Copies of this chain bind each other. A is one copy, B any other.
Amino acid sequence: MTENRDDAPLHADAPRGVRIPAGWTGSVTEIDPRSTPGFDGDKAAGRQRLVELDDQLDDLQERLFADGRAGAADRSVLLVLQGMDTSGKGGIIRHVVGAMDPQGVDITAFKAPTDEEKKHDFLWRIRPHVPRPGQIGVFDRSHYEDVLIHRVHGWADEDEIQRRYGAIEAFERELVARGTVVVKVMLHISYAEQGERLMERLERPDKHWKFNPGDVDERAHWPAYMEAYDRALAATSTEQAPWHVIPADRKWYARIAVQQLLLDALRTIDPQWPAADFDVEEQIARLRATMD
């Protein structure tokens, strides 16, 4: 079943969460975090799909890597992962991104900015980490924190937030123009699910290191965060760099959805094995002469 789907065109039914159109006026709160849009299988079917499509992802990623090494083109993918604490960003990196050859993947986790970084415009610390040709870059949090947590806590006023939306749109347009496919994902969990996941971190000593008392403080701002996401997605979901809201209360669904979006991105690029820039027969003869 999944195989028919994935040989089909990009617009075919498949798990991709909810694509946010340009000019959107909705709210993420209208999207059910337990839903599985584009996929009618259960958890077992989802897990099977993840494993089955890994080979396709791996193959396409290797072609992209080869394409980058050949230096003929400047094509890459940038996966931007956003979501509330415990929404599963780490699990996506481990189980979806981790299925690809690590030589072709470049992951950057953006923490609170350093004093040095705070002296510059918010995109200054982002730019050095955009993917090189042939690479799949992954942002674990990103420049969007500067219009999310900054809005929620009032660290930037409305004018400044608006300016940042514009700067982000220009930045991403520039990335797309140079050949990067930008995949923006909001992992969408429910308030109740976050409570359960934080509780698990507190109840298991091997998870204590993932917990920070500040996580409970931020949780108190949940409605403000959802509103900040609504505004940010509305302002920055564009035709060339759309947002996808991925229901993430079911981890298995979030993983197959991000996997699908990466497959879509790579198929859009359609990387081909680079042609030899040497005379193959001549090199075979040279090599053969060394093999007595």
Residues of A at the B interface (CB closer than 8 Å) are 66, 69-70, 90, 93-94, 97-98, 101-103, 105, 107, 109, 140, 192, 195, 198-199, 202-203, 205-206, 208-213, 216, 219-220, 273-276, 278, 280, 283-284, 286-288, 290-291
Task: Report whether B102 and A109 are in contact in the complex, using a CB–CB cutoff of 8 Å.
Answer: no
A98 contacts which chain B residues (CB < 8 A)?
98, 101-102
What is the chain B residue whose CB lies nearest that of A290? B219
Could you list 15 examples of A-B contacts with CB < 8 Å?
A: A66-B210, A93-B101, A93-B102, A94-B101, A94-B102, A98-B98, A192-B291, A195-B287, A198-B287, A199-B284, A202-B287, A203-B284, A208-B274, A208-B276, A213-B286
Known contacts A199-B287, A283-B216; decide if A273 and B93 are in contact (CB<8 Å): no
A105 contacts which chain B residues (CB < 8 A)?
102
A286 to B: closest C-beta gap in Å: 5
Task: Report whether A208 and B275 are in contact in the complex, using a CB–CB cutoff of 8 Å.
Answer: yes
Partner of A280, one of B101, B107, B192, B208: B208
Partner of A202, one of B102, B208, B209, B280: B280
Known contacts A69-B209, A103-B90; decide if A202 and B283 are in contact (CB<8 Å): yes
A274 contacts which chain B residues (CB < 8 A)?
208-209
Task: Report whether B103 and A94 are in contact in the complex, using a CB–CB cutoff of 8 Å.
Answer: yes
CA distance A4 to B69 in the complex (A): 43
Task: Report whether B192 and A283 are in contact in the complex, using a CB–CB cutoff of 8 Å.
Answer: no
A280 to B: closest C-beta gap in Å: 6
